[in-house]
Amino acid sequence: MDNSMQAIVVKQAQLEVGELPRPQPAEGELLVEVKAAGVNRADLLQKQGKYPPPEGASSLLGLEVAGTVAAVGNGVRGWKAGDRVFGLMGGGGYAQYAVLNSQLAMRIPAGMDFASAAAIPEVFLTAWQALVWLARLQPGEKVLIHAGASGVGTAAIQLARALGAEAWVTASAAKHEACRALGASEAIDYKTHDFAEVVADKTRGKGVNVIVDFIGADYWQQNMQSLAVDGRLIMLAFLGGVKTEANLAPILRKRISVYGSTLRSRSLSYQAGLTKDLSDFLLPRLERDELKPVLHKTFNWQQAEAAHQEMEQNKNIGKIVLIF
């Protein structure tokens, strides 16, 4: 058997095709012949050397794949060569072959293509973690999702609605229609409006119960203004910077809880529990077409650099996926 493979490698912060040895599945792992790999914002940072992979993970880019099982490691139960599989990984997805821990592996629903499956793990797991595990979102509550048309945002809108909550978003105006079509009941153009004023106006000063934030410093003050009593702020990224002058008073006055998390740094057992919890909720709903991954565009995997530029320029609504 030929034990080499082609993969995307980083050379001076640029993506190129390279030749590498195929990874081997260790105990509990699946070797996947990759058919599609999701592109994530984190990949742009890793390419620039700003987001090193966790210890033990592949140094290649790629946090999620869909494909077929090529081989199974010792101790794996329930999976065999040829099975259609998708899931989250610490790295290594931008390659013809990748290893996936069997505890993070999900079966691709019948009728779903590989590109759609590859668009699911990172953003749906992140949104589920934020809304359910951290914020404990309740039916009838209002959640404001920043970057509503992002990969994570499009998953969060749908999950919030499926949980019986109301989803509000901020996004650039051209992306509002797509957010509404996914179930967002309010869409705020953050470029022309102060979202805190809109929230105050539309909630008669009460505020929203949960905010899912990727912006950080630039939004801190408005987030504090926009949260209701007992509100929860979930911080997942700092696209708008990390340093700000903060008025902390609302944290006590409104009993606000602030959570931060990165999915990639979580332990295998945490990621496995999250995968199981999400799949129980999501997979039946995907099969019934009640929820869906939002696919912006696919690129041939050898065009990974062009795929990154599409994301860098904020052109996407939902996910960008590489096809192998």
Ligand X SMILES: NC(=O)c1ccc[n+]([C@@H]2O[C@H](COP(=O)([O-])OP(=O)(O)OC[C@H]3O[C@@H](n4cnc5c(N)ncnc54)[C@H](OP(=O)(O)O)[C@@H]3O)[C@@H](O)[C@H]2O)c1
To the nearest whole angstrom, how small is the minimum distance from the Cβ of residue 70 to ligand X? 27
First to last CA, the chain: 20
Q: Which residues from 248-277 bind ligand X, rule CB under 6 A?
A: 261-263
To the nearest whole angstrom, how small is the minimum distance from the Cβ of residue 159 to ligand X? 13
- 221: contact with ligand X by CB under 6 A: no
Among 137, 311, 321, 322, binds ligand X (CB under 6 A): 311
- 133: contact with ligand X by CB under 6 A: no
Q: Which residue, 31 or 106, is less far from ligand X as judged by CB? A: 106
Q: Take residue 20 and report the two structure tokens written for it.
A: 């590498």
Q: Which residue, 102 or 222, is less far from ligand X as judged by CB? A: 222
- 42: contact with ligand X by CB under 6 A: yes
To the nearest whole angstrom, how small is the minimum distance from the Cβ of residue 216 to ligand X? 9
Handedness of CA 34, 9, 269, 234 (dihedral sign): negative
Q: From residue 321, give the alpha-carbon distance in Å to each of 198, 255, 277.
A: 34, 40, 24
Nearest to 67 by CA among 42, 38, 36: 36
Residues 6+ apart with CB under 8 A from 48: 13
Among 28, 73, 240, 273, binds ligand X (CB under 6 A): 240
- 159: contact with ligand X by CB under 6 A: no
Angle at 216 between CA 139 and CA 250, to 5 degrees: 65
The DSSP code sequence of 96-132 is SEEEEEGGGEEEPPTT--HHHHHTSHHHHHHHHIIII
- Exposure string for 101-117, b = 16+ CB within 10 A, e = fewer: bbbbbbbbbeebebbbb
Q: Which residue, 6 or 314, is less far from ligand X as judged by CB? A: 314
- 151: contact with ligand X by CB under 6 A: yes
Among 41, 84, 161, 232, binds ligand X (CB under 6 A): 41
- 308: contact with ligand X by CB under 6 A: no
- 236: contact with ligand X by CB under 6 A: yes
Q: Which residues from 69-108 bind ligand X, rule CB under 6 A?
A: none
To the nearest whole angstrom, how small is the minimum distance from the Cβ of residue 77 to ligand X? 29
Distance between CA atoms of residues 283 and 262, nearest Å: 23
Among 172, 221, 225, 257, binds ligand X (CB under 6 A): 172
- 147: contact with ligand X by CB under 6 A: yes
Residues 6+ apart with CB under 8 A from 270: none
Handedness of CA 227, 230, 168, 38 (dihedral sign): positive
- 144: contact with ligand X by CB under 6 A: no
Angle at 189 between CA 307 and CA 224, to 5 degrees: 105
Q: From residue 86, give the alpha-carbon distance in Å to each of 36, 62, 89, 246, 283.
A: 9, 13, 10, 41, 12
- 122: contact with ligand X by CB under 6 A: yes
Among 66, 149, 163, 182, binds ligand X (CB under 6 A): 149
Q: Which stretches of the chain bind ligand X, using CB under 6 A?
A: 40-42, 122-123, 126, 147, 149-152, 171-172, 175, 214-215, 236-237, 239-240, 261-263, 311, 314, 316
